[in-house]
Amino acid sequence: MSDKYKDISVKQICDVIDMLHPCMDDYVYVYDLQNDYYYISPSAAQRFALPASEFNDVVKNHELFVHPDDIAELKKDLDMITQGKKEFHNLQYRWLSKDKKPIWINCRGFVVSDNGKALYMIGCINEIGTRQMADNISGLLGLSSLKAYFEENFYMMNSGYILRLGIDDFKPINERLGIEYGDMLLKKTADNIANCLYPDQRLYRAMADEFLVIDFANRNVEEALEQYVNIRYSIDKLVEKSRYEAVFTISGGILTSDAYRGCTFSDVMKFSEFALSEAKRGGKNRCWIFNYPAYEKFLKSRRMIQLLRKAVNNDFEGFEAYLQPLFSADTGELYGAESLMRFHTEEFGTVSPNVFIPLLEETCLIIPVGKWMLHKSLELCTEIHKVNPDFKISINISYIQVLKSNIISEILTAVSDYNIIPSTVIIELTESGVLTPDSRVAKLRSRMKEQHISLALDDFGTGYSNFHYFNDLKPDIIKIDRSFTIKAIENDYEFNLLQLMINMAHKMKLRVCVEGVETQQELERIKQLKPDYCQGYYFGRPCPFDEFMNLFVIDKTG
């Protein structure tokens, strides 16, 4: 490197850094090699775990804020510079933030020398992972710019709204037509949204296929909804103009000033993202207005997931297997029991299965919990078999277990481990979980049939019933859901429909269990249909094992 800068003093460079740092996002530094002195933009000391913006004993002090795994590489590079073997420094490594989190940086600098003697190094440091201020594809400013705008105009956040927009099913378009086509579509979508802006509004690209319309001009939620409709209409026209080469829609989430007033930028982004997600969960191509009760419910579900995960990792603490009796419709004798999962926490008390089971399935925690439930149910069954050897145990499994675990192997292993007679085991599959024919479901049924384990199709009649299940799955038992039972009791047409269904099942040598029988009157009505089994609160509610034994096993046999 040329010696022409040798007459510039380090003090002068420090003065220039002080002048420039308020105008820059990056950090300028100078390293006085002769005096072992380091000076960097003061903003760096606010961001990273530096001892200060200036310090001596440079290499030693770098150990305070350079990631331990990177310090050796940095020292090696600096040694080569001080020995005159390098004239340019260019290294990517990690600095530690104030809270000790690693941040990737790119550090570059050139060495100023005097007749081959290294005097000082001056350069620039930038964060590699920092989000771009603008997006070149859409031509819009990005989240970093939006954050700065919020901080500068915080006083204006008392009015208006934020409309977060997201393209529905954008990934398949990229996969089918390519990234370049997807980029073009993003640009046209951004242009269409921009054409629908009201005066004084700003448009930003949030991430990927999402955009943010910012309104601080005191417009109301009705105007926000009207704007979304206009944007959706413009997208429909864009699809039509492209001759339907890529058919897509756009969803929106609205955040009013009442919801975000006084909130941090991070909160505003979380709220708007939640609103958009709810619109997509609700069917897409629609708009959803943020409200706190729904968000609190969402947070509660996230907290519940944490508790479920903790319970799984703590030997399934809080989970319990309850039993609900199954009775023969003809004789009124105990036929068996359905094993039902229950969950208790100190924070929420007893949690409804309608709440925690979908969360287990969403997170795939149903796989370990379902395995635990399988073993627990068979363990209880062995105790009942000591009194009633013919007792049947019915165990629910989730379609998630079928699709994402080796459930048949787990069932057969558990049956063998507990020395259970396979014909006393019934596996229940929820009807809605087997809507799409799948080879894994067929394999499960085949292996169960080989081992004489029965299959019950649960919740039959909940809205998706299709008689092809009888042929494809060949279940041994169908269980009529309570909702269907009530209709049959209250309506002659539904009663006759259920009668036809039961008759058809019997002709196919299937057994029928009617669920949800709650009164003597209901039982008498249902018995006219001649089902094989009945289940419901009339016979007994789900209860812990000891209570079940006292109510339905020991007392009934003694």
- 152 band by pLDDT with thresholds 50, 70 and 90: confident
Cα 329 to Cα 326: distance, rounded to the nearest angstrom: 9
Cα 340 to Cα 535: distance, rounded to the nearest angstrom: 13
Cα 149 to Cα 34: distance, rounded to the nearest angstrom: 43
- 555 band by pLDDT with thresholds 50, 70 and 90: low
Cα 552 to Cα 545: distance, rounded to the nearest angstrom: 10
Tell me the residue type at 519: T
Q: In sequence order, what are the residues at sequence separation of 6 or more whose Cβ sits closer than 8 angstroms to the Cβ of residue 468?
A: none
Model pLDDT for residues 121-147, shown as the tens digit of each residue: 999 999 887 666 777 888 888 888 888
The bridge status of strand 210-215 relative to strand 202-207 is: antiparallel
Tell me the residue type at 206: A
Q: Give me 351's structure tokens.
A: 């949690």
pLDDT over 70 for what percent of the chain? 93
Find the mean pLDDT for residues 293-316.
Answer: 95
pLDDT for 234: 96
Q: Give me 467's structure tokens.
A: 């008689």
The bridge status of strand 334-345 relative to strand 392-397 is: parallel
Cα 38 to Cα 114: distance, rounded to the nearest angstrom: 19
Round the average pLDDT of the chain to a whole number and report it. 89
Under 8 Å between Cβ of 12 and 30:
no
- 157 band by pLDDT with thresholds 50, 70 and 90: confident
Q: What is the DSSP string of 25-82?
A: SSEEEEEETTTTEEEE-HHHHHHB--S-SEEESHHHHHTTTB-TTTHHHHHHHHHHHH
Residue the block writes with tokens 């242009």: 191
Cα 337 to Cα 391: distance, rounded to the nearest angstrom: 8
pLDDT for 534: 94
Q: Give me 44's structure tokens.
A: 């760096």
Model pLDDT for residues 342-383, shown as the tens digit of each residue: 999 999 999 999 999 999 999 999 999 999 999 999 999 999
Model pLDDT for residues 425-462, shown as the tens digit of each residue: 999 987 555 545 567 777 888 889 899 999 998 877 65
pLDDT for 457: 87
Across 179-261, the runs of DSSP E, i.e. the strands, are 202-207, 210-215, 250-256
**Torsion on CA atoms 365, 412, 436, 279, rounded to nearest 10:** -10
Give the H/E segment covering residue 289: strand 287-289
User: Structural domains in the chain?
Assistant: 10-127 (3.30.450.20), 134-290 (3.30.70.270), 301-551 (3.20.20.450)
Q: Does residue 156 have a pLDDT over 80?
A: no
Residue the block writes with tokens 């819009």: 140
Q: Give me 332's structure tokens.
A: 């009124």
pLDDT for 5: 62
User: Which whole-number Å values give the CA distances from 267 to 150, 181, 263, 274, 472, in the listed order?
Assistant: 12, 33, 6, 10, 50
Find the mean pLDDT for residues 404-426.
Answer: 94
Of the listed ranges 70-74, 131-135, 172-176, the one predicted with least confidence: 131-135
Cα 72 to Cα 57: distance, rounded to the nearest angstrom: 16
pLDDT for 1: 42
